[in-house]
Amino acid sequence: MNPRSHAPTWARLWRKSESLWNSFVAGPRLLRAGRQVGRGIPGLDRSNPVIVSLTTHGNRFETVHLVIGSILCGRVRPGRLVLWIDDETLLRNTSEQLRSLVAAGVEIKLTDNFGPHTKYYPTLIDPAFQAESVLVTADDDILYPPWWLSRLLRAYDSAPDLIHCHRAHRIGVGEGERFQPYNTWAPCVGRRISNKNFATGVSGVLYPPVMLRALKAAATGFRDRAPSADDIWINFVAHQAGIPVRQAGVFARHFPFVPGSQASGLYVTNVAEAQNDVQIARTYGPRLLRN
């Protein structure tokens, strides 16, 4: 079954037009920005208290500098950018491009393997983590536009107790608040604040200090409930803590992929093979309890 087959017509048209734009205009532009690594790319903005955190593995380690380069070419740059890896061999064999990023202030740190939760969890338990930090997560296969971080921070400034994201879905519930299949959830339209908005990490998510405290308190509960679905666990923790999600823009955005990065990933098992539904049931139970 096509996981997008249940999307409304307008959503399918939006995704198609965005995909075409990404392929022919946005993607090539951002790829050029990412390739500026080693050629005078701007460094971090130490006056900015925001941390950007991401992880990578396998072959994507060879192209993750493009992702980081696109972030550092943004209009606003984070105060810290941490790349977490769980393979010491990779750490010993960083590319010239990544070494130039380290020289610009990017941190590459070794950690235990928490699956996709490695994107954020090691940052929370890192001794350098500050309690009032703001954390923004990124994916290792996406090229981010220049306004990516600035728009998230602008949204945060207007509502500092919410989770802000560029891409969200509306949790589908039926009779008795029972979950509908994940593949049928419609993308969010508008900037409505709701506990039924489900932030998806692919396009970047900003977590305020109140959410980071909740995630830290939840510790590694994801291991038994949603080991391969960080979005499900994070949204569940937010739901339990009563922290709503708001989309930063009117339409859910999906930014261009790094060329060749889709040879590996969790999309096939979590979405196409419906493992998200298994992990949702294991995490939330059969019903969405909080409206």
The per-residue pLDDT for range 61-104, each reduced to its tens digit, is 999 999 999 999 899 999 999 999 999 999 899 998 899 899 88
Alpha-carbon gap, residue 63 to 233, rounded angstroms: 27
Q: How confident is the model at residue 268 (pLDDT cuts 50, 70, 90)?
A: very low
Q: How confident is the model at residue 43 (pLDDT cuts 50, 70, 90)?
A: confident
Q: Which CA distances in Å does 82 have to 1, 50, 137?
A: 37, 11, 10
For 53-99, the DSSP string reads EEE--GGGGGTHHHHHHHHHTSSS--SEEEEEES-HHHHHT--HHHH
Whether the per-residue pLDDT at 4 is higher than 50: the answer is no
What confidence score (pLDDT) does residue 291 get? 46
> 70 Cβ partners below 8 Å, 6+ apart?
30, 33, 34, 143, 144, 145, 148
Whether 36 is covered by a domain: the verdict is yes
- Check the CA dihedral 266-264-253-230 and report its sign: positive
* Range of the structural domain that residue 219 is part of: 9-284
Burial of 39 (0-12, 13-18, 19+ CB in 10 A): exposed
Packing angle of the helix pair 275-284, 230-241 (nearest 10 deg): 30
Domain at 256, CATH number: 3.90.550.10
The per-residue pLDDT for range 169-217, each reduced to its tens digit, is 999 998 888 999 999 999 999 999 999 999 999 999 999 999 999 999 9
Q: How confident is the model at residue 27 (pLDDT cuts 50, 70, 90)?
A: low
Whether 223 is covered by a domain: the verdict is yes
Predicted TM-score of the model (pTM): 0.90
Whether 4 is covered by a domain: the verdict is no
Whether 2 is covered by a domain: the verdict is no
Q: What is the mean pLDDT of residues 112-119?
A: 97
Coil, strand, or helix at residue 290? coil
Consecutive H or E run containing 154: helix 148-158
Whether 22 is covered by a domain: the verdict is yes
Whether the per-residue pLDDT at 2 is higher than 60: the answer is no
The per-residue pLDDT for range 117-132, each reduced to its tens digit, is 999 999 999 999 988 9
Whether 3 is covered by a domain: the verdict is no
Q: Both tokens of residue 128?
A: 């350098």
The per-residue pLDDT for range 205-253, each reduced to its tens digit, is 999 999 999 999 999 999 999 999 999 999 999 999 999 999 999 999 9
Whether 116 is covered by a domain: the verdict is yes
Q: Which of 204, 185, 183, 283 is nearest to 238 (CA)?
A: 283
Whether 32 is covered by a domain: the verdict is yes
Domains of the chain: total: 1
The per-residue pLDDT for range 133-159, each reduced to its tens digit, is 999 999 999 999 999 999 999 999 999
Whether the per-residue pLDDT at 14 is higher than 90: the answer is no
